[in-house]
Amino acid sequence: MREGTLEARLLDVLGRDAVVMGEGVAAYTVDGLQPRAAVRPATVEQVSELLRLAHAERLAVVCWGGGTMMGLGNRPLRYDLALDLRRLDQVVEHEPADLTATVQAGITLASLQERLGRHGQMVGLDPPYPRRATVGGTLATAVAGPRRLSLGHPRDITIGMRVVLADGRVTRAGGRVVKNVAGYDLCKLYTGSLGTLAVIVEATFKLYPRPRAEAALFFSFEGAEGACRLAREGRRRGLALASATVQRQEGAYLLLARLAGTERAVERSALELHSLASPLGGETVAGVMDRWEAAMAAPAGPARGLTLRWGLLPARLPQAMERLGDLSPSLLVAFPTVGTLYARWEDIDDAAALMAAEGARRLAREWEATLTVHSCPAALKEGLDVFGEPPSSWRLMRQVKERWDERGVLAPGRFLGRL
């Protein structure tokens, strides 16, 4: 389809204010590729019409939310349209008495939490950059932060979805009530699929009451073992531990323990953590929150530098952190009660990044861990599958992709095995 014809068709569906072409599409670059146009639909019906057009013309569509995780995934094989969903930002239905809410995919996590907070409730999503991260992007990438310990994975709290398939059909999965057992749980299929199977336009969540009291405690350790052990011990004892994060700073290991619950539970848990820390070689520190947050504030958006993510047994995290600390990453952080480890190098050239990624795969095999290249320079993705070797289930995954999206409309090549 010629550019003039494409623009005319898009304007016919959306109107002038919702179509971006020319220099404006640079903001939607993915791994060095720019789309022919970016579109900003305001309704589910417009999303459906756009995908009907893309399906008929075999245009490749990549979804955008806040853009915080666009570095995750393989380089697209084709890229014609950027589908920006941020205008779909409404709370469709909130039933405080039932602890459920249905929201559109473009609403940010910060906005959603603020609205639910007026009713003393919260949703169990914990992505980085909540002021920019959207519900749809969080589900599509299946990003879970340190509060996965207490809140669960995005798959665990999503009870329903409304999605638009590659050919424009609008379908539902799950429902709007917690007790829903009818049919296949397609919500789990769509969560983490990077927008390669369907475009998520609505999601229904089961909610949590907001805790009555919260506290944040910092402990400093010379080694990673003590920091990780304190977090695991706090969990084993059933303390009011909402999340635990260990960060390496200036040769030391800082543990941030966030507590949440009733006032008495938080107070008791704080006292017990203090008493446990000293025998493990830890000491309480104060006044480090600004330094901590500054270190965590990686650039939100398309890839800059190299970021690696391992999933491994929590018992192996201390050794892994010590090994990686010798490689001088700009950020080294772990969730010791979950088994997730991130390492980031800000200033690294392509050759060094490739060597680091290859070395990381060797370490992953040694630790019996999974490894994802969470973000990296675009050139590095030419000969690298960021998700590693496809699993034995890959052939089945390919069949699902071919059945859901036979023309390769939705983010072709972005997923594991370049699906």
**Length of the chain counted residue by residue:** 419
Same domain, 97 and 201: yes
304: buried, middle or exposed (CB in 10 Å: 19+, 13-18, 0-12)?
middle
Element (H, E) at 164: strand 158-164
CATH number at residue 256: 3.30.70.3450
- Establish if 354 belongs to a structural domain: yes
Same domain, 97 and 195: yes
274: buried, middle or exposed (CB in 10 Å: 19+, 13-18, 0-12)?
middle
Same domain, 104 and 198: yes
Backbone angles phi and psi of 126, in degrees to 5: -140, 55
Antiparallel, parallel or unpaired: β 91-95 and 100-104? antiparallel
Same domain, 318 and 280: no
CA 160 to chain centre: 18
Q: What is the pLDDT of residue 3?
A: 65
If you ran DSSP here, which 8-state letter would residue 143 be given?
A: -
Q: What is the pLDDT of residue 13?
A: 85
Same domain, 224 and 205: no
Same domain, 138 and 194: yes
Taking the CB of residue 76, how many other CB atoms lie within 10 A of it?
20
Show Cβ contacts of residue 294 under 8 Å, excluding neighbours closer than 6 positions. Answer: none
Half-sphere exposure of 68 (CA within 13 A, CB side): 25
CB 210 within 8 A of CB 117: yes
- Establish if 179 belongs to a structural domain: yes
Q: Last residue of a domain, which of 209, 228, 245? A: 209
Same domain, 197 and 131: yes
Q: How many domains does the chain have?
A: 3
CB 232 within 8 A of CB 334: no
Return the amino acid letter for 401.
K
Show Cβ contacts of residue 72 under 8 Å, excluding neighbours closer than 6 positions. Answer: 141, 194, 372, 374, 375, 386
Report d(CA 386, CA 366) in Å as an integer: 18
Same domain, 151 and 108: yes
Nearest to 410 by CA among 211, 212, 350, 402: 402
Q: Last residue of a domain, which of 285, 301, 317? A: 285
Residue 342, strand partner residues:
309, 333
- The pair of structure tokens assigned to 178 is 């917690």
CATH number at residue 120: 3.30.465.10
- The pair of structure tokens assigned to 14 is 């959306």
Q: What is the pLDDT of residue 79?
A: 96
Q: What is the pLDDT of residue 419?
A: 87
- The pair of structure tokens assigned to 179 is 């007790």
CATH number at residue 302: 3.30.70
Q: What is the pLDDT of residue 379?
A: 83
- Establish if 41 belongs to a structural domain: no
Q: Helix or strand or coil: residue 141? A: helix
- Establish if 273 belongs to a structural domain: yes
Show Cβ contacts of residue 1 under 8 Å, excluding neighbours closer than 6 positions. Answer: 9, 57, 59
Ranges of beta strands (E only) in 286-382 are: 306-311, 331-335, 340-345, 370-375
CB 138 within 8 A of CB 131: no
- Give residue 243's domain range: 213-285
Taking the CB of residue 279, how many other CB atoms lie within 10 A of it?
10
If you ran DSSP here, which 8-state letter would residue 263 be given?
A: H
Same domain, 221 and 189: no
Same domain, 97 and 183: yes
Same domain, 99 and 197: yes
Q: Last residue of a domain, which of 175, 209, 243? A: 209
Backbone angles phi and psi of 65, in degrees to 5: -120, -110
- The pair of structure tokens assigned to 130 is 């909540």
Across the chain, which distance is largest between two alpha carbons, in Å?
71
Q: What is the pLDDT of residue 221?
A: 95
Angle in degrees, CA 200, 201, 202, rounded to 5: 100
- Establish if 2 belongs to a structural domain: no
- Establish if 217 belongs to a structural domain: yes
Nearest to 139 by CA among 113, 165, 106: 106
- Establish if 137 belongs to a structural domain: yes
- Establish if 20 belongs to a structural domain: no
Q: What is the pLDDT of residue 233?
A: 94
Same domain, 296 and 244: no
Per-residue pLDDT of the chain (419 residues; tens, 9 = 90+): 666 688 888 888 888 889 999 889 999 999 999 999 999 999 999 999 999 999 999 999 999 999 999 989 999 999 999 999 999 999 999 999 999 999 999 999 999 999 999 999 999 999 888 999 999 999 999 988 888 878 889 999 999 999 999 999 999 998 766 655 556 689 999 999 999 999 999 999 999 999 999 999 999 999 999 999 999 999 999 999 999 999 998 889 999 999 999 999 999 999 999 999 999 999 998 878 877 777 776 655 555 688 999 999 999 999 999 988 878 888 899 999 989 999 988 877 777 777 787 888 888 888 899 999 888 888 888 878 888 888 888 899 999 999 999 999 999 999 988 98
